[in-house]
Amino acid sequence: MPARVVVVGGGAAGMLAAIAAAETGAPVVLLEKNSRLGTKVLISGKGRCNLTNAADITGLVDNIPGNGQFLYSALHTFSNKDMVALLNRLGLPTKVERGGRVFPVSDRSKDVVQALEGYLRRLGVEVRVNLPVAGLLVEGNRVTGVKAGGGTVPGKAVVVATGGMSYPRTGSTGDGYRWAAELGHRITPLKPALVPLETNEEWVKDLQGLTLKNVEVSTWGKDSLGSEFGEMLFTHFGVSGPIILTLSRNVSRYLERHGPPVRAEINLKPALRREQLDARLQRDFAQFSRRQLKNSLGELLPQRLIRVFTHLSGLPEDKFVHQITREERLHLAYLLQHLPLTVTGTRPLAEAIVTAGGVSVKEIEPQTMGSRLVRGLYFAGEVLDVDGYTGGFNLQAAFSTGFVAGKSAAAVPGD
């Protein structure tokens, strides 16, 4: 008997699509070009899998700036609570951390993939790995299956969940965009979202690998491009980390329209008002009055940052603290809250966590994820023109759209 539902792509969206379709009793085949399912899920959250966020639906939508409104129906059909309940039912407990981020208690992404994969097999889904799909089969205005493995896999409905263009080593090589375009779908231009930023300053390279926590980064073009509080990371090319990735969406769009540079500032002590910070410096300098400047900042800064900081201040690092004037101390306090960076670009799309752009949501039914152009064809996950901030929002979008697409595909009537 031919498979009634064919799901192309075994990532977050594809696995949920296959589960939702199979739960209705429909025959389902899941095709994956890699040797295993969930390759990108496995590396998410630094291998811990930030699988969703505990925000309410409005909060989820607010954190998906790329067409989040399109997801209202899908999120109501299969919410973050539904995703957590599914994993709990499959024997995988979860926990909520800072910012509403939801992780498996085990802190292991592979446990999420194994739970979903095990459920797929118990549902009777036919999983075929190492099977690249070459294209879609369409007769008239209706999908009839896919071309794969030198042959065809027939189906009454097809769910395309092939991912975006980021992390191509995970199998996301843009196949779904090409198939959609061939069928007349408009593809919104692809851009990096949640992507590290490149900076001009040489001193940044000296800090490669240094993580700063509880800092605030602000960005400006002609006007403010946003500020974020949390954790960041210095790299050999610039900056990364959760707050940088969140800021990157607006920064990358500004750079595309206006070109570099974008100004950025790091507030190393955002919890203190200027007067409080000066008072703190006065206390430290009184305590360490006989030390050189480079040896007096250990209570305020990570050791690796001190030499860079003193260099940027313009003060001799071997100057004794008791020789520092009031004006120099105020300058140090200012620099602690306005450490400057010059952003010159973003890393390539292949290094982005998420792809912005994709199959235009104007041509997709939000209640079903069905194509408005081809009957029996559904899209889910990152292949859609939907992208969110870091914090579990993108995976939830994939889970929700995948579930809706799979359930809808299973409801397509046969001949």
pLDDT greater than 60 at residue 329: yes
Give the CB-side neighbour count of residue 89, counting CA atoms within 13 A. Answer: 8
Q: What is the pLDDT of residue 171?
A: 61
At 341-360, the pLDDT tens digits run 999 999 998 888 899 999 99
At 200-242, the pLDDT tens digits run 999 999 999 999 999 999 999 999 999 999 999 999 999 999 9
What are 8's strand-pairing partners? 31, 160
Residue 167 pLDDT grade (very low, low, confident, very high; cuts 50, 70, 90):
low
Q: How many residues does the chain have?
A: 415
Residue 64 pLDDT grade (very low, low, confident, very high; cuts 50, 70, 90):
very high
Q: Classify 206 in phi/psi space as left (phi over 0), alpha (psi -120 to 50) or beta.
A: alpha
Query: CB neighbours (10 Å) of residue 135?
Result: 13
What strands lie across the sheet with 28-31, from one edge to the other? 126-128, 28-31, 5-8, 157-160, 377-379
Read off the pLDDT of each residue in 140-159 and give the average, rounded to a whole number.
Answer: 95
Read off the pLDDT of each residue in 120-135 and give the average, rounded to a whole number.
Answer: 96
Residue 264 pLDDT grade (very low, low, confident, very high; cuts 50, 70, 90):
very high
CA distance 412 to 3: 12
Read off the pLDDT of each residue in 1-25 and give the average, rounded to a whole number.
Answer: 92
For the ranges 26-35, 53-62, 159-168, 400-409, the lowest mean pLDDT is seen at 159-168
Residue 69 pLDDT grade (very low, low, confident, very high; cuts 50, 70, 90):
very high
Query: Any idea of the CA torsion for 257, 258, 259, 265, to the nearest 10 degrees?
Result: -110
Q: What is the pLDDT of residue 46?
A: 85
CA distance 346 to 352: 9
Structure tokens at 8: 């192309």
103, 302, 304, 328, 380 from 295: Cα distances, Å = 40, 12, 12, 16, 55
113, 192, 245, 256, 375 from 249: Cα distances, Å = 28, 8, 7, 11, 34
pLDDT greater than 70 at residue 362: yes
Cα separation of the two ends of the chain? 13
Residue 84 pLDDT grade (very low, low, confident, very high; cuts 50, 70, 90):
very high
Q: What is the pLDDT of residue 165?
A: 82
At 297-327, the pLDDT tens digits run 999 999 999 999 999 999 999 999 999 999 9
